[in-house]
Structure 1
Amino acid sequence: MCRVFGLLDPRLNHDELHRQGHELARSLRHGGPDGHAHRVFDGILVGGTRLAISDPEQGWQPFTTDGFTVFYNGEIYNAPALRRTLAASGVRFRTRCDGEVLAPLLARHGAAAGELLDGMFTVVAYEHRTRRLILLRDRSGIKPLYLFHEGGRFGFASEIPALLALRGGRAQPDLDGLDRYLRLKAVFGAAPEPGALGDPTLVEGVRSLPPGHALQLSPDAPPTMTALAEVPARARSTDPAEDLAKRFPDLIAEMLPTDVPYCAVLSGGLDSSVVATLAARAGGSLTAFTVVPRRPSAYTELPFAQQVAQATGARLEQVAVGGADLPELLPEVVRALGQPNSDPIIVSTYRLFQTVRAAGYPVALTGDASDEVFGGYDRFRSLAQSGDLGAYRQALSGVPAAWRRRLYSEDTLHALHSRRRPDDTPLDLSCADRDPTEAVTTFELRHRLPVYHLQRLDHLSAAHSVEARVPFCRDDVTALGRSLRTSDKLGPDGAVKVPLATAATRHGWAPESVVDRPKQPFTFRLSEHLLEDGGTALEWARQVLTDPSAQRGLFDQEHVEKTLAEFEEQRSEFLAHAVWSLLVLELWLQQISGGRR
Structure 2
Amino acid sequence: MCRIYGHFGAEPVDRDVLHAVARAMHQGGPDDQTVHTAPTWALGNNRLAVQGIGHGRQPFVLGDMTCVFNGEIYNHRELRAELAAAGHRFEGDCDGDVLLPLYERHGDAFVSRLEGMFAIAVVDRRAEPCLKLFNDHAGMKSLYYHLSADGRRLSFASELRALSRFPDFPDTLDPLAIDRYLGGRAVWGPETVYAGVRTLAPGTALRFADGRLTATRTPLAPAEVDWPDTGPGLTAAASILDGLLQHELTRMLDADVPVCVITSGGLDSSYTSAIAASVVPDLASFNVAYRGDWPADERHFAAEAARHSGTRHHQVLLDPADFPALVDRFVRHLDQPNNAPHSLSTFALFEAIHEAGFKVALTGDGADELFGGYARYVKAARDGSATWHRGYQDTMAAIGTTTLERLYTPAHRAHLAAHGGLFTDRTGDALDRRVRSGERAGRDKLETLLRYDQDERFPYYILRRVDHLSMAHSVEARIPFLQPAVMRFAHALPAGLKVVGDTVKAPVAEAARRWVPRSVIDRPKQPFTLPIAAMIKPGEALHELIGDTLLAPGARYRDHVRQDVVRDLFRMQSETPGAHTAEVLWSLLMLETWLSARNLTP
Is the TM value for this pair above 0.5?
Answer: yes
Per-residue CA deviations over 1:405-424 (Å, capped at 9, x if unaligned) read 22212222222222111252
Match for residue 251 of structure 2 among 249, 254, 262: 254
Distance 1:229 1:491 in 2: 27
Unaligned 5+ segments in structure 1 are 190-198
Distance 1:132 1:475 in 2: 28
Identity %: 37
> Aligned runs of 1:30-69 on 2, under 5 Å?
30-69=27-66
- Matching of residue 347 in structure 1 with residue 344 in structure 2: yes
Look up the match of 2:379.
382
- Matching of residue 280 in structure 1 with residue 277 in structure 2: yes
Look up the match of 1:436.
445
Look up the match of 1:193.
none
| 8 Å contact kept, 2:350–2:469 | yes
Look up the match of 2:299.
302
- Matching of residue 518 in structure 1 with residue 515 in structure 2: no
Distance 1:270 1:431 in 2: 29
> Aligned runs of 1:235-250 on 2, under 5 Å?
235=225, 237=227, 238=232, 239-250=236-247
Look up the match of 1:195.
none
Offset of 1:157 from its aligned partner? 0.6
- Matching of residue 536 in structure 1 with residue 534 in structure 2: no
- Matching of residue 139 in structure 1 with residue 129 in structure 2: no
SS at match of 1:426: helix
| 8 Å contact kept, 1:114–1:228 | no
Look up the match of 1:155.
155
Offset of 1:95 from its aligned partner? 1.7
Look up the match of 1:119.
116
2:444 maps to amino acid: D
- Matching of residue 495 in structure 1 with residue 500 in structure 2: no
1:426 maps to amino acid: T
| 8 Å contact kept, 2:536–2:543 | yes
Distance 1:262 1:356 in 2: 10
2:174 maps to amino acid: D
| Range moving further from structure 2, 419-428 or 21-30 | 419-428
Offset of 1:42 from its aligned partner? 2.4
> Aligned runs of 1:441-456 on 2, under 5 Å?
441-456=450-465
Offset of 1:294 from its aligned partner? 1.5
Offset of 1:353 from its aligned partner? 0.1
- Matching of residue 74 in structure 1 with residue 78 in structure 2: no
Look up the match of 2:533.
527
Distance 1:324 1:181 in 2: 27
2:152 maps to amino acid: G
- Matching of residue 200 in structure 1 with residue 206 in structure 2: no
- Matching of residue 504 in structure 1 with residue 476 in structure 2: no
Distance 1:236 1:138 in 2: 25
| 8 Å contact kept, 1:274–1:509 | yes
Per-residue CA deviations over 1:77-118 (Å, capped at 9, x if unaligned) read 111111111111111111200000001111122222112111
Look up the match of 1:192.
none
Match for residue 84 of structure 1 among 72, 81, 85: 81
Look up the match of 1:476.
485
Per-residue CA deviations over 1:349-378 (Å, capped at 9, x if unaligned) read 000000000000000000000101111111
Look up the match of 1:582.
588
| Range moving further from structure 2, 203-212 or 339-348 | 203-212
Unaligned 5+ segments in structure 2 are none
Distance 1:182 1:236 in 2: 43
| 8 Å contact kept, 1:293–1:321 | yes
Match for residue 216 of structure 2 among 205, 223, 226: 226
1:472 maps to amino acid: F
Distance 1:214 1:149, change over 3 A: same
Distance 2:522 2:195 in 1: 45
Offset of 1:9 from its aligned partner? 4.3
Distance 1:367 1:516 in 2: 18
| Range moving further from structure 2, 460-469 or 435-444 | 435-444
Look up the match of 2:473.
464
| 8 Å contact kept, 1:236–1:483 | no
> What is the number of residues matched between the two proteins?
579
Look up the match of 1:216.
207
SS at match of 1:148: strand
Offset of 1:541 from its aligned partner? 1.0
SS at match of 1:57: coil
| 8 Å contact kept, 2:260–2:285 | yes
Distance 2:504 2:188 in 1: 25
Offset of 1:346 from its aligned partner? 0.3
- Matching of residue 424 in structure 1 with residue 433 in structure 2: no
SS at match of 1:424: helix
Offset of 1:425 from its aligned partner? 3.3
| 8 Å contact kept, 2:9–2:211 | no
Distance 2:252 2:108 in 1: 25
| 8 Å contact kept, 2:123–2:132 | yes
Distance 1:149 1:221, change over 3 A: closer
| 8 Å contact kept, 1:17–1:45 | no
2:137 maps to amino acid: R
SS at match of 1:297: coil
Match for residue 103 of structure 2 among 82, 85, 106: 106
| Range moving further from structure 2, 408-417 or 515-524 | 408-417
Offset of 1:335 from its aligned partner? 0.3
Distance 1:255 1:66 in 2: 31
- Matching of residue 314 in structure 1 with residue 311 in structure 2: yes
| 8 Å contact kept, 2:207–2:214 | yes
2:182 maps to amino acid: L
1:125 maps to amino acid: V
1:344 maps to amino acid: P
Distance 1:267 1:373 in 2: 19
SS at match of 1:320: strand
Offset of 1:254 from its aligned partner? 0.5
2:524 maps to amino acid: P
Distance 1:301 1:569 in 2: 28
Distance 1:554 1:229, change over 3 A: closer
Offset of 1:68 from its aligned partner? 1.3
Look up the match of 2:567.
561
Offset of 1:336 from its aligned partner? 0.5
2:192 maps to amino acid: T
Offset of 1:401 from its aligned partner? 1.4
Offset of 1:485 from its aligned partner? 2.4
Distance 1:330 1:7 in 2: 32
Distance 1:167 1:160 in 2: 13
Look up the match of 2:578.
572
Distance 1:571 1:538 in 2: 10
| 8 Å contact kept, 1:66–1:103 | no
Offset of 1:548 from its aligned partner? 1.8
Distance 1:68 1:93 in 2: 16
Offset of 1:472 from its aligned partner? 0.3
Distance 1:384 1:415 in 2: 33
Distance 2:535 2:195 in 1: 33
